[in-house]
């Protein structure tokens, strides 16, 4: 049986559905009771931090897939932010790994982030061999969580697999990707026509397949893999492709990137602008080569599925 933390999240819902279609027995670890999981095997564990009691959730479990994480905070300050991330992303991960070791769990798959590698690439894509250089509190906490898992694994038979993903998109997406879709859907003028960058993304269906591969492949034990759709695009190209998938016209206006960055800095949005104008590429060749994983969905197919969901939403 497989235990999934964060089962009601964006990735968790897609993963649970995919595993159950394959005939796998899944137990959902949730913070509280959920009517949406009433018909499924689920257990409420409260807040997932350094004090969580995992004993009942781990009974009969052979594989743990740890998705639950603190992803962002609003109006955060540096020191307080890192402490808050560490409480859940580091302390919570270590607590679950320790409990999994005691319960005799075999495989532990941890969904990490490409932010562990860094915020941008220049000459070549990030690879597994690169020295981690996380810059923000979220990336730092994910890297520290990876290290905590590596420290726990030798104490038992626990096989840890780490999967680092870039921005995930697909039906149900939230955050910056959803905000971009809203702007494109309204045909708002976007001053991004002069941006020349390359960024990697991963479609939800492709990420789910990669997680399952990491949970099953014997060769994955002890490894770290980077995953992406395998097709990198510039921000203007992404806008054009989104517009085509949504059956609207893209309205890209040319504007010097230096001017965009200056304007963003003046309003405290430098990080957001960097994500729109900078490059962040991921080399996913190792997981393809070692596990035989291939993305089932192209970027175009992923955007079409996401657009179909967006247009079908209530309201």
Active-site residue numbers?
138
169 φ, ψ (degrees, to nearest 5): -130, 165
Alpha carbon distance 229, 292 (integer Å): 14
Name which of 213, 216, 108, 217 is nearest 157 in CA terms.
108
Cβ distance 70 to 84 under 8 Å? yes
Name which of 231, 241, 225, 243 is nearest 203 in CA terms.
231
Alpha carbon distance 133, 116 (integer Å): 6
**How many other β-carbons are positioned within 10 Å of the β-carbon of residue 232?**
20
Alpha carbon distance 19, 90 (integer Å): 26
Q: Per 3-state DSSP, what percentage of the chain is helix, strand, and coil (rounded to 5)?
A: 45, 15, 40
Beta strand 201-203 with 167-169 is parallel
Cβ distance 175 to 256 under 8 Å? no
């Amino acid at each position: 049986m497989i235990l999934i933390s964060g089962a009601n999240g964006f990735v968790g819902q897609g993963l649970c559905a995919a595993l159950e279609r394959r005939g796998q027995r899944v137990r959902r670890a949730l913070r509280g009771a959920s009517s949406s999981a009433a018909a499924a095997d689920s257990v409420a564990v409260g807040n997932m931090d350094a004090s969580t009691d995992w004993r009942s959730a781990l009974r009969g479990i052979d594989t743990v897939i740890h998705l639950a994480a603190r992803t962002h905070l609003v109006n955060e300050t540096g020191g307080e932010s890192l402490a808050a991330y560490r409480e859940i992303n580091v302390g919570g991960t270590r607590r679950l790994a320790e409990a999994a070791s005691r319960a005799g769990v075999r495989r532990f798959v941890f969904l990490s982030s490409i932010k562990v590698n860094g915020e941008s690439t220049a000459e070549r894509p990030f690879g597994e061999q690169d020295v981690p250089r996380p810059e923000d509190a979220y990336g730092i906490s994910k890297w520290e969580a990876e290290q905590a898992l590596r420290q726990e694994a030798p104490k038992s038979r626990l096989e840890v697999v780490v999967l680092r993903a870039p921005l995930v998109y697909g039906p149900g997406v939230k955050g910056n990707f959803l905000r971009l879709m809203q702007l494109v859907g309204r045909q708002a003028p976007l001053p991004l026509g002069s941006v020349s960058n390359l960024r990697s993304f991963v479609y939800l269906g492709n990420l789910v397949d990669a997680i399952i591969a990491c949970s099953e492949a014997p060769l994955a034990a002890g490894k770290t893999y980077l995953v992406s759709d395998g097709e990198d695009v510039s921000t203007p190209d992404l806008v054009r492709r989104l517009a085509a998938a949504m059956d609207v016209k893209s309205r890209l206006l040319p504007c010097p990137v230096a001017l965009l960055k200056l304007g963003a800095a003046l309003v405290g949005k430098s990080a957001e602008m960097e994500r729109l104008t900078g490059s962040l590429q991921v080399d996913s060749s190792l997981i393809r080569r070692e596990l035989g994983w291939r993305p089932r969905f192209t970027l175009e197919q992923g955007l079409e599925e996401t657009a179909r969901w967006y247009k079908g939403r209530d309201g």
